[in-house]
């Protein structure tokens, strides 16, 4: 799998102010990448589907629409970042988003499959990751 996203994303993550730890650079055998009906990737981890198999971005916007502008949000799980983009759009300039991802295999998948630089470079976002 082409990991040009991984290299760019990991560099962006390291400069974001989030604590930096090494991550595996290849996808785990526990992860299956699936193309959704909308053409966006999703994945199964240990046979659990992480996002919609139809339209993960639409699912993420439905999730985020419940939030208020200026909200301070703490999420357990980075996923592939769809919901993080949607939350940052919804909470506005005074909001804050903290994400916690304890599974390095899932974070590697997120950094490999999608461009996450917009999220990592957003001053309203902070990621805590690692086992």
End-to-end CA distance of the chain: 24
- Report the range of poorest mean pLDDT among 57-61, 67-71, 93-97: 57-61
Sign for the CA dihedral angle at 14, 30, 60, 95 comes to negative
Residue 52 has pLDDT above 90, yes or no: no
Is CATH 3.40.50 the right assignment for the domain spanning 4-129? yes
Predicted confidence band at 44 (pLDDT cuts at 50, 70, 90)?
confident
Percent over 70 (pLDDT), the chain = 95
Whole-model pTM: value is 0.85
Which positions ≥6 away from 119 have C-beta within 8 Å?
Answer: 81, 84, 85, 88, 125
Beta bridge mates, 33: 43
Sign for the CA dihedral angle at 42, 44, 49, 50 comes to negative
């Amino acid at each position: 799998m082409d990991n040009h996203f991984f290299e760019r994303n990991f560099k962006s993550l390291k400069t974001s102010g989030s604590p930096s730890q090494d991550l595996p650079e290849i996808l785990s055998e526990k992860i299956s990448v699936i193309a959704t009906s909308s053409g966006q990737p999703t994945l199964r981890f240990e046979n659990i589907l992480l996002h919609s198999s139809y339209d993960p971005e639409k699912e993420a916007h439905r999730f985020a629409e419940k939030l208020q502008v200026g909200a301070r949000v703490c999420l357990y799980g980075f996923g592939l970042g769809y919901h993080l983009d949607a939350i940052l759009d919804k909470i506005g300039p005074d909001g804050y988003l903290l994400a916690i991802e304890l599974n390095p295999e899932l974070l590697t998948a997120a950094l490999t499959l999608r461009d996450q630089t917009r999220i990592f470079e957003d001053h309203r976002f902070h990621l805590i990751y690692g086992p």
